[in-house]
Structure 1
Amino acid sequence: MTQELFRQDAYLRETPATVVALDAQGVLLDRTVFYPLGGGQAGDTGELVLADGRTLRIADTRKHKDAEGQPSGAIAHVPAPGQEELLAALKPGDALTARIAWDRRHRLMRFHTTTHLLCHLVPQPVNGCSITPEYARLDFHMTDPLDKDALTAGIARLVAEAHPVTVGAITDDELDANPALVKSMSVQPPRGTGTVRTIRIGAGDIAIDFQPCGGTHVAGTAEIGAVVVTKIEKKSATTRRVVLGFA
């Protein structure tokens, strides 16, 4: 199991860590600040800085799978190509520093929180999601048309209102009693520990959005900055795609 430090502190940029194993999927550490691909959000990139100062570039981060292809509970840091000599020198027990590419991560955080604002502005089930450093998109299960300018204005308003974003948790039983909290039709929140991580936007009686989510987010909507709806597409008779970009 990899200790996932990003779950509670998305602003943690680096951490000391120890190599647990190396295999074809990547480098496994005892703890990490790297977010693995999942929930529509891209995996982090960055570097592993060895004790002697040498640096292993990380091109992607994925959830590690066991021999049966099931999640093992570990996180695989995928090295960029062309570093075979350095990888050969790395071994279990080695101490290093795991450091994410912060500017890229912060763009992902800003986009991810914006997609939650979209869920407030378009209260329809989501049947697809992609969050990258360059753009984000949500696919809504609906037939009514959407207005690009109106959504852009709605996002700008919620950003300017500076709503706090809070990480929390509910029990599996609480989620079962409130199935409408799950906005996604295609991705279910992970279970098995008895609790499910949540993201709340808004404070007190102001409820902008509240849903299970394992991704990384900014601490408040004001931090998002200028995000606009760049495109709205009719992907099928029952799907409307909203694409976001930075202004």
Structure 2
Amino acid sequence: MAYETKALFRDDAYLATAEGVVLAINEHGGIVLDATNFYATSGGQPGDIGYFERSDGSRIEIAATVTGETKNEIIHIPAEGQAVPEIGEKLTLHVDWPRRFRLMRMHTACHLLSVVCPFPITGAAVGEEESRIDFDLPDPSYTRENVTERLMEMVRANAPVSTRWITDEELSANPGLIKSKNVRPPIGNGQIRLVVIGEDGTIDSQPCGGTHVAGTQEVGEIHIGKIEKKGKENRRFRIRFGSLPLV
């Protein structure tokens, strides 16, 4: 049986603390709640870690968050040796906020990179210290220096980052919104979540279920650490925090 969890992070990525009621404990000890602010691993972004606080003040440490039979079933994996909550128990959910915020900044930076490099995306992964995007990019004129400069221009401009929902039909009518060459956003649920950068999407709009900052300035100092050739026309860009090191 698949359960449905209300994904609070989709509407408020800054919700570091929330409450949830235990719906089920699966055969592997995974905890399913009626609502959660913990992001589940998806779209190249790692799931959240943190802890659940019980009414007596004791903690259940959460080592990973994943999806279940559907994207709407979110399973929280306790660290080894943790207590098991009761069905129906109300818990206070604490996301590891410093880690989450770094991932939000990184994920937003990945969206900005896809604007600087407007080519089909063949792979991506968001990390706490480094993220990567692979592009089907034949143009060798993109360098660490000029891409970093353009990224930082967009960061400093502090454009707003927001979300909105469109229908499956609207997505079908606007195929250019999809940047991934190999992965298509799930359709059939009637709604697709768009992450929008700039007023009315003047900078970018693309389907994404991840967590992002509210303004590009929050991304902070970033740079392209490396550009690797992964095939005839496939190049991997590695994004890192901090300024571009002087060679």
Shorter-chain TM range is: over 0.9
- Say whether residues 1:61 and 2:61 are aligned partners: no
Which residue of 32, 43, 46 corresponds with 1:42? 46
| Deviation for aligned residue 1:28 | 0.5
Tell me the equivalent position of 1:68: none
Amino acid at match of 2:67: K
Gaps of 5+ in 1: 66-70
Amino acid at match of 1:75: I
CA distance in 1, matches of 2:46, 2:11: 18
Superposed counterparts of 1:1-247, under 5 Å: 1-23=4-26, 24=28, 26-65=30-69, 71=70, 73-83=72-82, 86-87=83-84, 90-145=85-140, 146-204=142-200, 207-247=202-242
| Deviation for aligned residue 1:82 | 2.7
Give SS of 2:52's match.
strand
With normalisation by structure 2, the TM-score equals 0.93
| Deviation for aligned residue 1:153 | 0.6
Structure with the larger strand share: 1
Gaps of 5+ in 2: 243-247
CA distance in 2, matches of 1:72, 1:40: 14
CA distance in 1, matches of 2:117, 2:72: 34
| Deviation for aligned residue 1:143 | 2.1
Amino acid at match of 2:23: V
Equivalent residue pairs, number? 237
Q: Percent of aligned pairs with the same residue?
A: 43
Q: Deviations over 1:35-77 (max 9, x none)?
A: 0000111111111111111101111110013xxxxx2731000
CA distance in 2, matches of 1:22, 1:106: 28
CA distance in 1, matches of 2:64, 2:154: 32
8 Å CA contact retained: 1:25, 1:76: no
RMSD, aligned CA: 1.2
8 Å CA contact retained: 2:7, 2:72: no
